[in-house]
Chain A
Amino acid sequence: MKKTIKGAAFVIGDDIDTDQIIPAEHLVYSLDDPEERRFYGRYALSGVPEPVSGLPRGHIPFTGEDDFTSPYKIIIAGKNFGCGSSREHAPFALQVAGAEAVVASSYARIFYRNAVDGGFIIPYESREDLTSVISTGDEVEIDGEQNLLINHTTGQNYPLNELGDVLAIVEAGGIFQYAARNGML
């Protein structure tokens, strides 16, 4: 588990569901094939309606038209991130696009679990809603030791909740690694 994650922020709102994270029509691609899996990066967050994609201004695609990876490394969202379907393609797509963490005020449980057990992306919880105090493109950093989100663009810091129960699985890198470490496999 990386203790520090640093990069550009991409800000979206509340209740971002898995159809917005990766629209169902794209779920047909192989997750293993190196050519096909790139499409998950291409279409990550492509279902977010344009006016609220990349707050506060909106109309900012997470991944550009001709790209397979995103310039944004940390996703900032409001409550109930990842609600809807159980598709693991959602955290996978964010990882393939190059994102390393989500900071949301709360998560839907299946997305949270998939992100952790698959080792795709680290789901941090912010203590307060950060979607109105961070702007898309801000240079931000997650300090995993101190559970802090630092906004280098504005100079503000925000506390994050500890990973708690799932920390051991996040540190191991996923459920298989966790189970192997604990003699279960």
Chain B
Amino acid sequence: MAMTLTEKILARASGRSHVDAGETVWVDVDILMTHDVCGPPTIGIFKREFGDDARVWDKNKVVIIPDHYIFTADKYANRNVDILRAFAAEQDLPHFYDVGGDRYKGVCHVAMPEEGFTRPGDVLFGTDSHTCTAGAFGQFATGIGNTDAGFILGTGKLWVKVPETMRFIFEGEIPPWIMAKDLILQIIGDIGVDGGTYRAMEFAGDGVMRMDMEGRMTLTNMVIEGGGKNGVVEPDEVTFDYVRKRTDYPFTPLYNDPDARYHSVRVYRSEELQPMVAKPHSPDNKATVQEVRNTRITRAYIGSCTGGKITDFEAAARIIKGHQVGVDTFVVPATTLVRDQLSTTFHDGKSLRQIFEDAGAHIGEASCAACLGGPSDTFGRLQGEEICISTTNRNFPGRMGSKKAQVYLASPYTVAASAITGKITDPREYLNIPTESQGVLS
């Protein structure tokens, strides 16, 4: 019987030749990832259930990346990093990326690929809902809670219900003013915030397969905003090239069978795509940028696992170069590698860092920062009635720190263009492309 990519991974991981969507199976876990918010309670559960002297099932398969509340004076937040540090030492964990030294990374979902943990065909669980990002590499990756993570720490196993797959196909070349963020905001707007519940969301078509890994990661990153269990892209040479440069660890890529059965297939014509936003207060509250253009904003934010990768900053810099920002603009590299790349990546002879500094933006340290609000002293956190346009993933009430604030989600292009004007602005105005453009530029 034919299987989808996701079904094949779960069949392999459960030691079976075949699984059907809807079945519950127990899988062997290839990687467990946790961070400073959910790591300490996970460790607490592990010790409660397996004993104070228990050892993790496989220290080479546990990855701990503190990233949420790092640059804060909050004593509880700092205490939580201490708990991770003590556990990593006690268990002799090789993959602990401690705060305050050369090993520190920042946002786990961007650090995981950088460090070679996102391997095609593998099963990754993480105590964070955006763990689904790693599906861009053809991995089965999904978010779990502390109890499940504590269970995995002791056993290396977890039950999982095999999801049906919704397939999203983008036909034709993506116009140059459109970013992956526009595609996923379009999809979430179309299916709703629960349209993918219990399902895998697969992205396919030549529009997707021509994307680099970071573009694909933006797509899979936000499947959770459509309720999806995991997002996935079939691996190809782009994937293998990225992964092999970062790890020697062997992996076995898996693919959809030609006659695999899908829950649904939705086809988009890439040339019809428009720059999109999600209006307050839900990621599925979609509008085209044209529909909300000139809406006043008071802040712009570029960062997070969704929109804080180096290609996101390259895009933003392309728009911002030579301009001053008109509103408070916060630039937060996802990881320390991205931070370094801001200084070593040039656009028209200027480093990205220089471009943002010259424009008057505030540049922060690598971490999740204000994407999820965090302690009151968090960099870029919304504290009042701000109207923020952001490259992040969620605009729920209070998500970025203040229940009174409003957040618009958009692509790095759109956020950058809006940062200059202080109102929601179509990036085509800064890319010298007429805003009525429909077709692909030749």
Contacts and interface: CB of A to CB of B under 8 A. Distances in A.
B194 A114 contact: no
Interface string B228-260: 010000000000000000000000000000000
B38 interface: yes
A20 to B, nearest CB: 6
B179 to A, nearest CB: 23
B129 A85 contact: yes
Contacts of A91: 145
B377 to A, nearest CB: 10
Contacts of A107: 197
A23 interface: yes
Interface in A13-49: 15, 17, 19-20, 23-25, 27-32, 36, 47-49
A113 B197 contact: no
B396 A28 contact: no
A175 B144 contact: no
A45 to B, nearest CB: 12
Contacts of B157: 184
Interface in B181-229: 193-194, 197-198, 224, 227, 229
Contacts of B76: 28-30, 36
Interface centre among A83, A106, A184 (most CB of B within 10 A): A83
A84 interface: yes
A87 B397 CA distance: 17
A110 B129 contact: yes
Given A32-B44, A109-B198, A109-B229, A25 B397 contact: no
Interface string B393-405: 0101111010100
Given A25-B374, A165-B161, A17 B396 contact: yes
Chain B interface size, under 10 / 10 to 19 / 20 to 34 / 35 or more? 35 or more
Contact of B403 (A47, A84, A108, A113): A47
B193 A80 contact: yes
A106 B197 contact: yes
- Chain B CB within 10 A, most for which of A32, A79, A85: A85
Contact of A87 (B79, B145, B148, B161): B145
B148 A80 contact: no
A141 interface: no
Interface residues of A, number: 43
Contact of B372 (A19, A29, A108, A117): A19
A83 B374 contact: no
A118 interface: yes
Contacts of A138: none
B227 A87 contact: no
Given A28-B69, A86-B128, A108-B227, A175 B147 contact: yes
Given A28-B69, A28-B80, A174-B147, 12 more contacts: A24-B374, A25-B375, A47-B398, A47-B403, A84-B129, A84-B394, A85-B372, A86-B127, A109-B229, A113-B148, A117-B145, A185-B155
The 10 tightest CB contacts between A and B, nearest first, are A88-B145, A28-B76, A114-B145, A86-B143, A118-B147, A80-B194, A86-B129, A88-B146, A24-B372, A31-B41
Interface of A: 15, 17, 19-20, 23-25, 27-32, 36, 47-49, 79-80, 83-89, 91, 106-110, 113-114, 117-118, 165, 174-176, 179, 184-185
30 contacts: A15-B194, A15-B282, A17-B399, A19-B397, A23-B398, A24-B372, A25-B374, A25-B375, A28-B69, A28-B79, A28-B375, A80-B197, A85-B372, A86-B38, A86-B126, A86-B128, A86-B143, A88-B38, A89-B41, A109-B198, A110-B224, A113-B145, A114-B147, A117-B145, A117-B147, A117-B148, A117-B151, A118-B147, A174-B147, A175-B147
